[in-house]
Structure 1
Amino acid sequence: MIRKISRTMVATIAACLLAFSSLGHARAIDESPSALAMTTDAVILRPALLATTIVGAAVYLVSLPFSALGGNAGEAGKTLVVGPAKATFVRCLGCTISGRKQETVEQSNN
């Protein structure tokens, strides 16, 4: 039973991560983080946000039948999975706002 739940959760998380490839077109941001902010982000915040994304996905899966009956499954998914995933994967190192640095956006357009 536990193995089946584990496989289902891994498959769901993998599907969510593949769905986030469209987030590459996030809005450009203009921030200049310090070295301390970048180090803190890389060592402490990103692992914590990744754990939050994983736990949020698990909570979303458990609450999905109830939120589907309530009609807010999309809102629950955005709050529990997409929000933490954006903060984890679509944010420059040390930045406080989710998005891509302007230089990165310009390079990809050329």
Structure 2
Amino acid sequence: MSGRLISAVLALALVATPLATVAQSEEPVTGDRTTDMVLDVVVMRPLGLVATVLGTALTVVALPFTIPSGSVGASAHALIVRPAEYTFKRPLGDFSDSSEDRY
């Protein structure tokens, strides 16, 4: 079971890496706004949801290391808040990362 989970996470990382460059584009990715919206709904939003859930799990796993160093807030922001804002606050079809980096 754990081997399948590791394989799935690695496969997701391989798929998400090229899409990360698409996600930072300021202009329409395909040139057509409707196609960008479909790409956003079908690919980017589910990946953002997965990143938020995995970031939450990683934040919990990292707590023994971040509590003593006082960096719980920074790690939670990077691993949970930013993916959640990208997934849920961004306009549909807008691939720019407009969240302000407060840290």
TM-score of the aligned structures, taking structure 1 as reference length: 0.58
Q: Does 1:71 align with 2:78?
A: no
Separation of aligned partners in 2, 1:78 and 1:69: 17
Give the aligned residue type for 1:35. T
Match of residue 39 from structure 1 = 38
> How big is each residue's C-alpha offset from its partner over 1:9-39, in whole Å with a ceiling of 9 and x where there is no partner?
xxxxxxxxxxxxxxxxxxxxxx887011100
**Alpha carbons 1:41, 1:93 under 8 Å: kept:** yes
For 1:94, the aligned partner's letter is G
Tell me whether 37-46 or 89-98 shows the greater mean CA deviation: 89-98
Structure number with larger C-alpha Rg = 1
Q: 1:83 aligns to what?
A: 82
Q: CA RMSD in A?
A: 1.8
Q: SS where residue 64 of structure 1 aligns?
A: helix
CA distance in 1, matches of 2:95, 2:38: 13
Number of matched pairs: 69
Query: How far apart are residue 97 of structure 1 and its match?
Result: 3.0
Task: Specify the alignment match of 1:97 in structure 2.
Answer: 96
Q: Which residue of 1 aligns with 2:61?
A: 62
Offset of residue 92 of structure 1? 0.6
In structure 2, list runs of 5 or more residues that go unmatched: 1-26, 99-103
Segments of structure 1 that go 5 or more residues without pairing to the other structure are 1-30, 100-110
Cα distance between partner residues in 2 of 1:83 and 1:59: 14
- CA shift at 1:98, angstroms? 4.9
TM-score (norm 2): 0.61
Shift of 1:96: 1.9
